[in-house]
Structure 1
């Protein structure tokens, strides 16, 4: 699988002269990718390739702060008007609890993985139709904070290579545009599809604890402008619409904790703001990630010292 993904990375860099048709992912319309990228307007003209600006430069371009700082104030438009608020939605109650004790051996092993992440992570260059810039104002002229502050967990439903191929494929129609920032394969391989400085099209009509950003008043609001989207590769027995499957591997939970720790440290994201696609979806159509074991993530984030300050 890892060699196949590396091959797709090479193919991504050669994509300009070779643009194939989209891959059909029917089951994703219920559980995963399908129809998530409907906010894909005002697409950035640049691709987050190896030659692109650094994350810090990109964050400064879109007005996002450095980790630990406050977002710079934006001036409201003279024609600004109140934005609609999300419909009533149960508040997210995180399964992650405060924990300050951990296995020292596990802590050392996972911290080593955090340190190695920048070198071991595969990076794709996805098609520009499948992502956008983070907005600093909404469709009504109100300033909004583009800083990533929520992580939404997903699953691929089909294999990771199918998701990768979908992201490499141009999708001119808004309703077909889709992406995650990062995916984790069954063997723990980490593939970054999109730099966090950009807006992934990971959720459609969605909100988190009463928050959304509406960039198109005709289609509703979304968490995409302030969210990071991470997807776990679904096991083979999960390529269906069943409520459960055999679950994710230990290697996936290791890599998930490592990536989340990196994001939490860089952007100051609280553990209570790690949520699921099932929760943020306002249409009640998404079920991912199915069979997710929060206890596995709890143990690993505690080992990395990320839960001691949570309440």
Structure 2
């Protein structure tokens, strides 16, 4: 069910991503968020189309990421119901070790309000909702496992799928009860520019397990699990670009992304008030040295398109005619 949330520019997609069912045993204890948290006022990104009420997550386990089997390429509808396959192993994208929290008294944090701004009408990409299974994402926390308040500003991390978008979606829609198998993005942008919403922005996608953001204020990472290292996941919004067919390998480069993908990426990021210096890549935040995505990314083109949109200061509305 989509719910409009006030306080943001365009109301964000509030799709029933869980299908009404709580995560089996991975969810933290339900507690009221700390309203004095800097994450207060989470509103959201553009409205996603509702998922089909008859759709259900795939029941078949995906092919392990270490498998050499080639993924199939099923057609995913706005709420896909297809058998999962996993992308072949490549150095540019290895399912990250998650930072899934253990049950604890830490308050759950709402979505950062920096992801709540409007952009003017004009280019609007096709959009789909393909909800991930609840085992593949978690809550954002207002405190880390040591009880220290979290005050990181929102971060956008760019990725690539390496396999097809459908393959990644199938993996995320497959239940993974072993934490080491859990992974997800918040959204994927297909080759034709379609934006696929996978994890709600107020939730924590498992997109960059062992990671740190080295910003002007020093290294930033939050530890939310006793068994896993700190990561940027607690304050990151993960966006992945579908890789071109010639990038389904271990190569350092490929033919790049489509014009539609750059347009849609700029459109999506422009709905936020995240500053340029807090837009980064998986390669840059990864601490393992094994992630190199997004390969062949044209940074200059992306920022040129992004800067063509007026960036709205948080709490302000655009001038008449820009809505």
TM-score with structure 1 length normalisation? 0.69
- Determine which of 202, 211, 222 is the counterpart of 2:220: 211
- Determine which of 223, 230, 233 is the counterpart of 2:232: 223
Aligned CA distance change for structure 1 residues 194 and 237 (closer, same or farther; 3 Å): same
Aligned CA distance change for structure 1 residues 29 and 171 (closer, same or farther; 3 Å): farther
- Determine which of 149, 153, 158 is the counterpart of 2:158: 153
CA distance, structure 1, for counterparts of residue 203 and residue 159 of structure 2: 18
Is the counterpart of residue 41 in structure 1 residue 101 in structure 2? yes
Match of 1:62 in 2: 109
Superimposed CA distance per residue, residues 21-46 of structure 1 (whole angstroms, 9 cap, x where no aligned partner): 113444446212x3314212348xxx
Is the counterpart of residue 31 in structure 1 residue 92 in structure 2? yes
Aligned CA distance change for structure 1 residues 175 and 300 (closer, same or farther; 3 Å): same
More RCO (CA 8 Å, sep 6+) = 1
2:98, 2:207 within 8 Å by CA — same for their partners in 1? no
Deviation of 1:111 after TM superposition, in Å, equals 4.1
The runs of 4+ residues in structure 1 deviating greater than 4 Å are none
CA distance, structure 2, for counterparts of residue 165 and residue 273 of structure 1: 29
Is the counterpart of residue 135 in structure 1 residue 141 in structure 2? yes
Deviation of 1:230 after TM superposition, in Å, equals 0.3
The answer to which structure has the higher helix fraction is 1
1:238, 1:246 within 8 Å by CA — same for their partners in 2? yes
Deviation of 1:67 after TM superposition, in Å, equals 4.1
2:102, 2:226 within 8 Å by CA — same for their partners in 1? no
CA distance, structure 2, for counterparts of residue 128 and residue 36 of structure 1: 16
Aligned CA distance change for structure 1 residues 144 and 28 (closer, same or farther; 3 Å): farther
Aligned CA distance change for structure 1 residues 150 and 67 (closer, same or farther; 3 Å): closer
1:152, 1:274 within 8 Å by CA — same for their partners in 2? yes
Superimposed CA distance per residue, residues 257-278 of structure 1 (whole angstroms, 9 cap, x where no aligned partner): 000101x2xxx31111110000
Number of residue pairs the alignment of both structures matches: 235
1:29, 1:35 within 8 Å by CA — same for their partners in 2? no
CA distance, structure 1, for counterparts of residue 97 and residue 130 of structure 2: 18
Match of 2:122 in 1: 112
Deviation of 1:15 after TM superposition, in Å, equals 1.9
1:64, 1:145 within 8 Å by CA — same for their partners in 2? no
- Determine which of 111, 121, 124 is the counterpart of 2:127: 121
CA distance, structure 1, for counterparts of residue 132 and residue 111 of structure 2: 22
* Unpaired runs of at least 5, structure 1: 1-8, 44-59, 70-107
TM-score with structure 2 length normalisation? 0.66
CA distance, structure 2, for counterparts of residue 167 and residue 295 of structure 1: 31
- Pairwise CA RMSD: 2.9
Aligned CA distance change for structure 1 residues 256 and 143 (closer, same or farther; 3 Å): same
Deviation of 1:206 after TM superposition, in Å, equals 0.4
Superimposed CA distance per residue, residues 103-129 of structure 1 (whole angstroms, 9 cap, x where no aligned partner): xxxxx9x8412xx46xx4211221110
1:23, 1:162 within 8 Å by CA — same for their partners in 2? no
2:109, 2:142 within 8 Å by CA — same for their partners in 1? yes
Aligned CA distance change for structure 1 residues 63 and 249 (closer, same or farther; 3 Å): closer
* Unpaired runs of at least 5, structure 2: 1-50, 67-87, 313-323
Is the counterpart of residue 299 in structure 1 residue 304 in structure 2? yes
